[in-house]
Chain A
Amino acid sequence: MLNKVLDLLDPLLILSAALMGVALYLIFIWVPTETNQGAVQRILYFHVPVAWGSMLGIFVVSGSSFMYLWKKTEKWDRLAVASAEVGVIFGGMMLLSGMIWARPVWAVWWTGEAKLTTALILFFIYVAYLMFRAYFPPGAQRQRLAAIIGVIGAVDTPIIYFAANLWSQAHPPLITGPAADAESALGSDLGIVLTASTVAFTFLFIYLVQTRYKIRKSEDDLVELKRAVSTSAMTGAN
């Protein structure tokens, strides 16, 4: 029983929980309310870290997909799927928190701004990555094909960003809210809180990816064990 509890207390989990506590204190108690935007500006302290986390996820998926195609070792596939899942969750949080922030500040939920368009399209590509994995029968072929999607996503990212940039120049986004152009009145305080929150979310990201990686490994081990049992049962019967 005690062992089980201790197993749950991963040092990374404790670290990210502690950092998250510090970040929450800084966000809701320590830092003053921004004068132009009001309380809604505090969303930024979540939005930027989860956006960073989703970018980190995409980066790790692309890198480990490439490594999988090159080395063909299971660990790269596990890392790719773990960071894709966590990255998509972070991406979803980024899109939602961004929209909630944009509505009062820009007066629109969504606009054709380059970063928004890029983030949305990349989100769809990595959702497709996960759906492909879910639809395809397990095995080496699934891992290979999924890795190809990971690499294609990486190739597409700069092109999407370039296109979205050109697009938003041709169709200037409608940003007309009350505090659209106002400079932040917080100065260096903003930087401190943002850094603390980003560090906390980065450790949460690492913890979640690590946990998902372990689950994936257990799933693979289970398949191996089942196969071993069924072969030994067959040889035993003979």
Chain B
Amino acid sequence: MMGSLAIIWAIGRKDLLLEIRNKDVVVAVAGFALLVLVIFTFAIDLNQGNAKLVGPGVLWAGIAFAGVTGHNRAFALEVEGSTLEALMLAPISRDLIYLGKALGNFLFIAVAQIIVIPVFAVLFNLVVFRWEMLAIALLTTLGFSAVGTLFAAMSVRVRAREVMLPLLFLPVVTPLLMAAVESTSHMVNGRSWSDMAQWLQLAVAFDVAFIVVSAFIFQHILED
């Protein structure tokens, strides 16, 4: 058990180290999400009333779109450097490779959100520095990276991977997106935990289901 965790962390740390050096993924994700937010402040005439109404949706749509870009990048790096083969040669089981890569992606998108969410608070004039926001963001990011890592590994060898990943990723994460938008919307309207409990439970169920199924199924992707 300890050995598995060490392997997952080793893969995650490798990605993290690479990221600290070139800042490829975090900058891409944060930049993309920020641009979505800014564009929507022009697309919608914001006032206090409709900021609460549309804000949560814009935030999570932005992060979902940006997450697609981030996941694309993370696996493209492995293929461009032919390091995916090296990972596959390592005497470790495939599910640990998956969990390690997913850990890296989770950290990147989480860090990007540390930049994006405060800017969202400023642009939409909403109170977001609450524990509820932390829980929502962590659960949503976990699900995004669970599904995103699986599909990014699949579409990395497709001709049009920039097209393929969002087409696979977005419909599958729709329930998680609904959970994130609805609970954020409860939060900005000042409601309590119990109001968003059902949505948070749904997010937990989504995360558990996809982490388990993806880890189990990943051996079929890297099988050659």
Enumerate chain A interface residues (CB-CB to B < 8 A): 69, 121-122, 124-125, 127-128, 131-132, 135-136, 141, 144-145, 147-149, 151-153, 155-156, 159-160, 162-164, 166-167, 170
Q: Which residue of A lies closest to B205 (CB)?
A: A159
| Majority secondary structure, A binding face | helix
Residue contacts A-B, CB under 8 angstroms, 18 given? A122-B171, A125-B171, A127-B167, A132-B155, A135-B158, A135-B164, A136-B158, A144-B223, A145-B220, A145-B221, A152-B150, A156-B175, A159-B205, A163-B174, A163-B175, A163-B179, A164-B178, A166-B198
Distance in angstroms from B71 CB to nearest chain A CB is 15
B182/A148 in contact, CB under 8 A: no
Residues on the A chain within 8 Å of B198, using CB: 166
CA gap between A94 and B95 in the complex, in Å? 39
CB contacts (< 8 Å) of B205 on chain A: these are 159
* A74 to B: closest C-beta gap in Å: 16
Q: Is B202 an interface residue (CB 8 A)?
A: yes
Is B160 close to A, CB under 8 A?
A: yes
Instruction: Judge whether A144 and B155 touch: CB under 8 Å.
Output: no
Residues of chain B touching chain A, judged by Cβ–Cβ distance below 8 Å, are 147, 150, 154-155, 157-160, 163-164, 167-168, 170-172, 174-176, 178-179, 182, 198-199, 202, 205-206, 209-210, 213, 217, 220-221, 223-224
The A-B contact count (CB < 8 A) is 86
Q: Which residue of B lies closest to A156 (CB)?
A: B172
User: Chain A's nearest CB lies how many Å from the CB of B202?
Assistant: 6
B69 to chain A, nearest CB (A): 18
Check A148 against B209 for contact (C-beta < 8 Å): no
Contact of A132 among B158, B179, B182, B202 (CB under 8 A): B158
In the complex, chain A residues whose CB is within 8 Å of the CB of B182 = 166-167, 170
Cβ-closest chain B residue relative to A126: B171
